[in-house]
């Protein structure tokens, strides 16, 4: 099928799937209208302009967003604004937010739009993507944003990180070769519990976003082993279920969250449902429910 026609149907399908999320979300009617109109504008440009004149810069939520690829930026907008994955509520004027897997920084910009006084710690391993993340932060004169050019793991040091040099900024870049079986680079690795200990100094971590393409089990294990989940109030975790058809590990992951006093909501798509071994992104909204087990 022609690439343009395939893209058209893909966008229509995703619009029908994701638009109800923002319509039923917690934004005001004015903000919902703003998001939908912005999405309509981006979609028209993606289908009618970008194929003939590649777009590398866009205005979103009053911010300037530089991107590698307009199609990927459009996808990020669908996830962050239409699906509304990273929305959370707090009465604090200066919440602390960790953006683990920041990519080019659209989620970081969203958090700053949602809570302008927020303190954000953003982590992105790939050097090219990190440079664009920094550019987007600086171009919008954001303050209170701390950038780390590193992957999060259960070991500090260096590790192989898998990217696709033909598609810079791909959301699938990973420490797991099976998630991105392409090109290998070496990146710095940090331990999230060390950052929480050194930077928060007893403060609460109001929102922890973890989208680390398969390293979420190692990150959670580190936080549990070092008892650094205590400061965390809410999390949004993208769990990568059955990478390359691997055996499912979601049960033990959820069980650990329960032991640590969290409850959760899940959102996942699998069509058709009878699809043994199919990879899924499972979205987990995680929140405090009761004291952790002794």
pLDDT in tens, 73-87: 999 999 999 999 999
Give the phi and the psi of residue 84 in degrees, each rounded to 5. Answer: 65, 40
What's the confidence (pLDDT) of residue 271?
86
What's the confidence (pLDDT) of residue 35?
95
HEC string for 152-217: EECCCEEEEEEECCCCCCCCCCECCCCCCCCEEEEEEEEEHHHHHHHHHCCCCEEEEEECCCCCHH
Average confidence (pLDDT) over 213-220: 96
Decide if 145 is inside a domain: yes
Residue 33: how many CB atoms within 10 A of its CB? 12
In this structure, are 95 and 68 located in the same domain? Answer: no
Residue with tokens 């100094």: 201
What's the confidence (pLDDT) of residue 290?
61
Question: Could you say which of 80, 99, 115 is where a domain stops?
Answer: 80
* CA-closest candidate to residue 75, choices 170, 166, 9: 170
Give me the residues paired with residue 281 across strands: 240
In this structure, are 122 and 4 located in the same domain? Answer: no
In this structure, are 120 and 234 located in the same domain? Answer: yes
Q: Which helix (H) or strand (E) holds 109?
A: helix 106-114
In this structure, are 103 and 5 located in the same domain? Answer: no
Average confidence (pLDDT) over 32-56: 94
Average confidence (pLDDT) over 30-58: 94
What's the confidence (pLDDT) of residue 293?
52
Decide if 160 is inside a domain: yes
Decide if 125 is inside a domain: yes
CA 107 to chain centre: 7
Question: Could you say which of 23, 45, 80 is where a domain stops?
Answer: 80
* CA-closest candidate to residue 108, choices 151, 61, 168: 61
In this structure, are 65 and 105 located in the same domain? Answer: no
Domain membership of residue 6 as a residue range: 1-80
Sheet with 183-191: strands ordered across:
151-153, 183-191, 157-163
pLDDT in tens, 196-216: 999 998 899 999 999 999 999
What residues contact residue 203 under an 8 Å CB cut-off, 6+ apart? 96, 231
What's the confidence (pLDDT) of residue 9?
87
What's the confidence (pLDDT) of residue 5?
82
In this structure, are 133 and 271 located in the same domain? Answer: yes
d(CA 167, CA 30): 36
CB 232 within 8 A of CB 260: no
Tokens of 142: 């954001």
Among the listed ranges 43-47, 112-116, 147-151, which one has the minimum average pLDDT value? 43-47
In this structure, are 23 and 130 located in the same domain? Answer: no
d(CA 134, CA 126): 12
What's the confidence (pLDDT) of residue 291?
56
CA 51 to chain centre: 26
In this structure, are 228 and 123 located in the same domain? Answer: yes
pLDDT in tens, 93-138: 999 999 999 999 999 999 999 999 999 999 999 999 999 999 999 9
What's the confidence (pLDDT) of residue 15?
86
Output the domain CATH number for residue 259.
3.40.50.150
Average confidence (pLDDT) over 254-281: 94
The conformational region for residue 186 under phi > 0 = left, psi -120 to 50 = alpha, else beta, is beta
In this structure, are 116 and 247 located in the same domain? Answer: yes
In this structure, are 202 and 58 located in the same domain? Answer: no
In this structure, are 132 and 243 located in the same domain? Answer: yes
Q: Does 1 score more than 80 pLDDT?
A: no
What's the confidence (pLDDT) of residue 294?
46
* CA-closest candidate to residue 77, choices 47, 104, 54, 48: 104
Count of the separate structural domains present in the chain: 2
* End-to-end Cα, the chain, rounded Å: 57
In this structure, are 262 and 152 located in the same domain? Answer: yes
Model's pTM, two decimal places? 0.94
Give me the residues paired with residue 238 across strands: 283
Residues 161, 195, 118, 208, Cα dihedral to 10°: 60
* In the chain, % of residues over pLDDT 70: 98
C-beta contacts of 126-130 below 8 A and 24+ residues apart: 126/161, 126/163, 126/168, 126/169, 126/173, 126/185, 126/187, 127/185, 127/187, 128/68, 128/168, 128/169, 129/68, 129/103, 129/104, 129/168, 129/169, 129/173
Decide if 294 is inside a domain: no
């Amino acid at each position: 099928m022609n690439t343009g026609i395939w893209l058209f149907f893909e966008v229509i399908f995703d619009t029908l799937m994701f638009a109800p999320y923002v319509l039923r979300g917690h934004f005001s009617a004015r903000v919902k209208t703003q998001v939908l109109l912005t999405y309509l504008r981006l979609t028209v440009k993606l289908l009618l302009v970008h194929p003939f004149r590649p777009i590398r810069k866009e205005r979103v939520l009053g911010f300037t967003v530089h991107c590698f690829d307009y199609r990927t930026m459009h996808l990020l907008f669908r996830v962050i604004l239409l699906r509304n994955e990273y929305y959370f509520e707090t009465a604090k004027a200066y919440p602390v937010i960790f953006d683990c897997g920041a990519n080019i920084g659209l989620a970081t910009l969203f958090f700053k739009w949602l809570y302008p006084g927020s303190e954000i710690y953003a982590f992105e391993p790939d050097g090219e993507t990190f440079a664009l993340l920094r550019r987007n932060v600086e171009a919008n004169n954001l303050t209170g944003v701390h950038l780390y050019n590193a992957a999060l793991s259960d070991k500090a040091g260096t590790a192989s990180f898998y990217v696709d040099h033909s598609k810079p900024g791909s959301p699938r870049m990973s420490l797991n070769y099976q998630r991105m079986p392409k090109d290998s680079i070496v990146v710095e690795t940090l331990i999230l519990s060390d950052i929480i200990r050194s930077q928060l100094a007893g403060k609460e971590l109001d929102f922890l976003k973890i989208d680390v393409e398969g390293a979420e089990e190692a990150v959670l294990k580190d936080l549990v082993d070092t008892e650094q989940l205590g400061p965390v109030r809410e999390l949004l975790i993208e769990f990568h279920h059955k990478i390359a058809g691997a055996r499912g590990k979601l049960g033990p992951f959820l069980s650990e969250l329960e032991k640590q006093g969290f409850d959760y909501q899940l959102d996942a798509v699998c069509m058709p449902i009878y699809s043994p071994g199919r990879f899924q992104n499972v979205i987990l909204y995680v929140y405090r429910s009761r004291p952790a087990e002794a």
